[in-house]
Amino acid sequence: MIAGIIAGGIGILFFLFMAALGIAYFVFWLMMLIHAIGNKGLGEGEKVVWVLVLVFLHVLGPILYFFIGRPKGT
């Protein structure tokens, strides 16, 4: 009985953690998409390519854009 309650509690905590992680990643993805669209350091063709990368490579796209696509500070 107690083991079932503990297991259920752990399951709920795991679900909440994964939901928070998913929401945080969605916000990160959305921020990178908005940044790619409004980035003045990219040409129109580059913007289109980055938006397509972000849309079609859901997990890898925002990470690639964060490290490669954003213009570096001067």
Domain positions in the chain: 24-74
Please write down the long-range contacts of 62-67, taking CB distance under 8 Å and 24 or more positions apart. 62/28, 62/29, 62/32, 62/33, 65/32, 65/35, 65/36, 66/32
Given a cut of 80, whether residue 26 has pLDDT beyond it is: yes
Given a cut of 70, whether residue 74 has pLDDT beyond it is: no
Given a cut of 90, whether residue 15 has pLDDT beyond it is: yes
- For the chain, the straight-line distance linking the first and the last C-alpha, in angstroms and rounded, comes to 62
pLDDT at res. 72: 60
Mean pLDDT in residue range 43-57: 93
Whole-structure pTM value: 0.81
pLDDT at res. 73: 47
Q: Which amino acid is at 23?
A: I
Given a cut of 80, whether residue 20 has pLDDT beyond it is: yes
Given a cut of 70, whether residue 7 has pLDDT beyond it is: yes
Contacts of 39 (CB under 8 A, 6+ apart): 47, 50, 69, 70, 71
